[in-house]
């Protein structure tokens, strides 16, 4: 398994076995290599080519930045990378982790040769209604293989527990483009405000957007914590709760998470989090409705001002 875009999202490190853990892919004998990005977040094509050998079967490309301050890749960049990979080794299977990217562009990686495109239903494509789950879109061969592994050999897609969730899945998917648009608008608004306040934002206010995540680099744990507290305080659920940094499972440093959400863990709902490590960046995303994102962001600015952490004339 090869990651040509640097390290994947934190919780996947233990899934793959980059950090030792029980039940990892490593335990099943699956080995992993990664090729880090070049300066400017460019793919290291030479390095990628050299890393592909006769044992390389799967390439996994993560579209969004996760807890990194790199940019998120556009579908166009991913499409070009897929073409390059298939030229180097036509039989490679390419999987795109599309989390947070869905409906932020007019096309998706599945249209450009990705054998599998996967994502989470408690993010964009669940539209805020899906209570749990993920999706996998791909070639017939891959989907069949996955179905047999996921349910039972011989049964595949003929069976599987849906536990009364299907209506929410379909209704959520139906709403998802509009919900994602609200989240995107909110992210642009946040970047606009925080850039004016002098903080580095990724993407910038006018920057290209390929997912709904907005990173605001605070460079100071106090500001990061105050930001997350204020997002929590503006939430529809548990607004009275104060989030605190803690040693969450799956992460290698303390993490603070603000998520007063209807669906536990849903980051298509207004939410913010960040690891307590340099550069102390808050990763902010979601908001089912644009007015709610606006209220949330304005609340963070007020809280930072009240605490004397920012200067507003």
Q: Interface residues with ligand PLP (CB under 6 A)?
A: 9, 62, 64, 66, 97, 99-100, 120, 122, 134
The nearest distance, CB 170 to ligand PLP, in angstroms, is 18
Q: Are the C-beta atoms of 136 and 102 separated by less than 8 Å?
A: no
State the Cα–Cα distance between residues 228 and 285, nearest whole angstrom: 11
* Residue whose Cβ sits closest to ligand PLP: 120
Q: Which is nearer to ligand PLP, 99 or 179 (CB)?
A: 99
- Residues of 260-293 as b/e, b for ≥16 C-beta within 10 angstroms? bbebeebbbbbbbbbbeeeebbbbbbbbbbbebb
Closer CB to ligand PLP, 130 or 193, in the complex: 130
Residue 78 vs 193, nearer CB to ligand PLP:
78
CA distance 278 to 51: 30
Please report how close the Cβ of residue 121 comes to ligand PLP at its closest, in angstroms: 7
**Shortest distance, position 52 Cβ to ligand PLP, whole Å:** 22
Q: How far is the CB of 63 from ligand PLP (least distance, A)?
A: 7
Whether the Cβ atoms of residue 136 and residue 143 lie closer than 8 Å to each other = yes
Distance CA 80, CA 157 (A): 32
User: Among residues 124 and 217, whose Cβ is nearest to ligand PLP?
Assistant: 124
What's the CA gap between 126 and 205, in Å, rounded?
Answer: 26
Q: Which residue number, 10 or 229, has a Cβ lying nearer to ligand PLP?
A: 10
Least separation in angstroms between residue 51's CB and ligand PLP is 21
Single out the residue of 160, 61, 150 nearest to residue 112, CA to CA: 61
CA atoms within 13 A on the CB side of 190: 37
Q: Which of 245, 278, 209 is nearest to 68 (CA)?
A: 278
Q: Minimum distance between the CB of residue 6 and ligand PLP, rounded to whole angstroms?
A: 12
CA 102, 97, 126, 243 dihedral sign is negative
Q: Which is nearer to ligand PLP, 47 or 134 (CB)?
A: 134
Give 3 or 299: the residue with its C-beta nearer to ligand PLP: 3
Cis peptide before 279 (omega within 30 of 0): yes
Q: Are 48 and 58 in contact (CB under 8 A)?
A: no
- Minimum distance between the CB of residue 64 and ligand PLP, rounded to whole angstroms? 5
């Amino acid at each position: 398994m090869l990651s040509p875009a640097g390290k994947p999202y934190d919780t996947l490190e233990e899934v793959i076995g980059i950090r030792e853990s029980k039940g990892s892919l490593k335990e099943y004998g699956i080995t992993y290599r990664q090729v880090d990005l070049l300066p400017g977040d460019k793919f290291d094509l030479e390095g990628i080519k050299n890393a592909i050998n006769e044992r390389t079967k799967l390439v996994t490309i993560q579209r969004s930045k996760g807890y990194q301050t790199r940019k998120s890749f556009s579908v166009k960049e991913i499409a070009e990378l897929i073409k390059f990979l298939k030229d180097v080794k036509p039989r490679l299977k390419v999987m795109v982790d599309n989390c947070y990217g869905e409906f932020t562009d007019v096309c998706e990686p599945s249209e450009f040769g990705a054998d599998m495109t996967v994502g989470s239903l408690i993010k964009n494509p669940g539209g805020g209604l899906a209570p749990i789950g993920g999706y996998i879109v791909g070639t017939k061969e891959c989907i069949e293989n996955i179905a047999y592994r996921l349910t039972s050999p011989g049964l595949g897609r003929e069976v599987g527990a849906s536990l009364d969730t299907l209506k929410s899945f379909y209704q959520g998917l139906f709403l998802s483009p509009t919900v994602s648009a609200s989240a995107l608008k909110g992210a642009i608004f946040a970047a606009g405000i925080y850039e004016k306040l002098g903080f580095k934002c990724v993407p910038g206010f006018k920057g290209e957007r390929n997912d709904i995540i907005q990173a605001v680099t605070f460079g100071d744990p106090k500001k990061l914590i105050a930001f997350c507290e204020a997002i929590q305080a503006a939430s529809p659920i548990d607004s009275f709760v104060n989030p605190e940094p803690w040693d969450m499972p799956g992460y290698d440093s303390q993490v603070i998470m603000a998520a007063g959400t209807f669906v536990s863990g849903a980051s298509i709902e207004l939410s913010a989090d960040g690891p307590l490590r340099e550069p102390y960046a808050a990763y902010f995303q979601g908001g089912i409705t644009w007015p709610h994102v606006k209220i949330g962001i304005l609340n963070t600015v007020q809280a930072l001002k009240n605490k004397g952490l920012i200067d507003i004339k």
